Amino acid sequence: MATAMDHRRAPLLDAIRRYQADGVIPFSTPGHKRGAGIDREFGELVGSSFLSLDIPLGGGVDDTHFGGDTLAAAETLAAAAWGADRSFFLVNGSSAGNHAYLLATLRPGDEVVVARDIHKSLLVALILSGAVPVYVAPRLHPILDVGLGVDPDDIASALEHHPRAKLVALVSPSYCGVPSDIAAIAAVTRAHGVPLFVDEAWGPHFGFHPALPPSAMASGADGAVTSTHKVLGALTQSAILNVRGDLVDPRQVKTAVGMVQTTSPSVPILASIDACRRQMALAGTGLLERAAALAEDARRRLRAVPGVDVLGADRLGITSYDVTKLVIDVHGLGLTGFELEAILRARFHLQPEMSDLVGCICLVSIGDSAETIDRLVAAVATIGRERSGRSADQGQPLRSSGAAIAPGRQALSPREAFFAPAREVPLVDAVGCVSAELVIPYPPGIPVLAPGDIIDMDKVAYLREGAARGMYLSGPVDGRLETVRIVVED
């Protein structure tokens, strides 16, 4: 990580203070004019100090409308902190970074090697770019139904079979905190002269503490997007797109970022990324040391509750893991994660990040304390005690059949399938048809169907059983999946 910069500086925060000190009367956006024109109740909710920093970027933070120097200075500091050559601040999350990077690197019809456990924003990037995915399935833990990342050998094999591929794109870490071996994958992509892009939405803290997996930039990726809002201290929607190396022209990335982002970015969001960078560069290691210790303490105490388990590198048989993720399995209590989430929220006023058939994911961050951890552990222990002696036999949680999450065969590119005429048919009648939509069951968060996929019997059987058991399905128009949208053949 480059440290030659003076990370005590925060150019965007300084500029906001200058604007405020100057007593500027704005004849510019936003129309609420630093809160004077805002709805009273909303104004009270957010507070006048927050509204006074909701100023425009051009003409507010920068003296002139098209200056851009202050943002560039903040992005240069971020590039140094995240080990990139260039960084671009994003106000529409990692989603915007996924869209921008693929638009910058791919043309319609280009082949791109893509890990199958993509987030829907990467799939949207495939639709926008018109690229043709060569899907690579992540390895799956045989019992725990958790993705173990993409194997470098599988990437090597995909590139050997598709020598014209223009990019390799994958998600690391997974939602459950499991990273792929980016250094090994980068060695493969470098040998083929193909850029590697990592959707590191869940790893903005990587690289700031040795107990966490190495960051994508430090591991040799050419591009990586990371959500500073997800587990660090920046505001919701904030993210950074990092690029390095000479395989991709950063000016093309900058142009693409300008295409997918609003022309009126929120200064509070941008400033929060600047502040987050300063905080991590100056104090990140200590803050993450504490967060990791709190999470490990919670993991140990939660595992001590009969019927409860929590994922960790030991359970998965891996060496690198994001210890700040608490993936809590309550199947042994005879509860689904949905039920646990409802109880935690209603009775204990605790809000997990996500729940599924098996359990809940709870995030521990630099904002947690011994008290918040105690509250979580005590709540789960209480629920565990109340359920002791009850039958834990609610049937096995649905495990992914390898066949269901295997990429299968594609008839069309995601873009062709998205723009093709489509209609809804009962799921049972869809075998042999081409999917027009994305269907991602949780767990394990890996698409069973993507637009363009040929729907086979295994996938239909798995989705029917999952839907009947209340599995959460992200993506389809019909959330209960009685019907699925298919491409209408000419």
Ligand X SMILES: Cc1ncc(COP(=O)(O)O)c(C=O)c1O
Our CB check for ligand X shows the closer of 62 and 222 to be 222
Nearer to ligand X, 273 or 340 (CB): 273
Of these, 19, 135, 175, 206, which contacts ligand X (CB under 6 A)? 175
The reply to whether 94 sits near ligand X by the rule CB under 6 A is yes
Extract the runs of DSSP E, i.e. beta strands, from 203-284: 223-226, 239-243
Q: Give residue number: closest CB to ligand X.
A: 93
Among 239, 267, 376, 438, the residue binding ligand X under the rule CB under 6 A is: 239
For 60-84, the DSSP string reads TTBSSTT--HHHHHHHHHHHHHHT-
Tell me whether residue 261 or residue 410 sits nearer to ligand X (CB atom).
261
CA atoms of 111 and 134, how far apart (whole Å): 7
Binding residues among 154-173 for ligand X as defined by CB under 6 A: 171
| Cα 90 to Cα 132, 206, 438, distances in angstroms | 26, 18, 25
Which residues share a beta bridge with 328?
Answer: 310, 360
Closest approach of ligand X to the CB of residue 225, in Å:
7
Q: Please state the closest distance from residue 287 (CB atom) to ligand X, in A.
A: 21
Contacts of 188 (CB under 8 A, 6+ apart): 152, 155, 156, 159
Residue 143 CB, nearest approach to ligand X (Å)? 24
Using CB under 6 A, count the residues that bind ligand X. 12
Cβ distance to ligand X smaller for residue 122 or 380 = 122
Residue 119 or 325: the one with the smaller Cβ distance to ligand X is 119
Output 74 or 118, the one with its CB closest to ligand X.
118
Options 199, 329, 339, 453; binder of ligand X; rule CB under 6 A:
199
**Cα torsion 174, 177, 178, 180: sign:** positive
Smaller CB separation from ligand X, 362 or 380: 362
Site membership for ligand X, residue 203 (CB under 6 A): no
113 binds ligand X (CB under 6 A): no
- Least distance (Å) between residue 147 CB and ligand X: 11
The only residue of 74, 169, 201, 343 in contact with ligand X, by rule CB under 6 A: 201
CA max distance for the chain: 69
Q: Counting contacts by CB under 6 A, is residue 93 touching ligand X?
A: yes
Candidate residues 7, 86, 119, 325; the one interacting with ligand X per rule CB under 6 A? 119
Query: Which CB sits closer to ligand X, 121 or 435?
Result: 121
Q: Please report how close the Cβ of residue 331 comes to ligand X at its closest, in angstroms.
A: 23
CB-based contacts of 43, cutoff 8 Å, min separation 6 = 35, 51
Cβ proximity to ligand X: between 118 and 287 the closer is: 118
DSSP class of residue 331 equals G
Q: Which amino acid type is present at position 48?
A: S
Which residues, in sequence order, are bridge partners of residue 225?
199, 241
Q: Is residue 265 a contact point for ligand X (CB under 6 A)?
A: no
- The nearer residue to ligand X, 201 or 310, going by C-beta atoms, is 201
Residue 455 interacts with ligand X (CB under 6 A): yes or no: no
| Residue 93 or 397 with smaller CB distance to ligand X | 93
**Smallest distance from the beta carbon of 141 to ligand X, in angstroms?**
18
Applying CB under 6 A, the span of 93-101, 320-328, 341-349, 382-390 interacting with ligand X comes to 93-101
Query: Over the range 344-383, which residues count as b (16 or more CB within 10 Å of their CB) and which as e?
Result: beeeeebebebbbbbbbbbbbbbebeeebbeebbebbbeb
- Is 214 a binding residue for ligand X by CB under 6 A? The answer is no
Tokens at residue 169, please?
């794109």
Selected binder of ligand X within 95, 129, 189, 320 (CB under 6 A): 95
Render 169-224 in DSSP notation, one character per residue: EEE-S-TTSPPP-HHHHHHHHHHHT--EEEE-TT-TTTTS-TTSPPPTTTTT-SEE
Pair 335, 200: CB distance under 8 Å: no
Candidate segments 87-95, 253-261, 286-294, 360-368, binder of ligand X by CB under 6 A: 87-95
In whole angstroms, give the CA distance from residue 357 to residue 355: 7
Q: Is the peptide bond before 268 cis (omega within 30 degrees of 0)?
A: no
Q: How far apart are CA 153 and CA 133, in angstroms?
A: 18
Footprint on this chain of ligand X (rule: CB under 6 A): 93-95, 119, 121, 171, 175, 199, 201-202, 227, 239
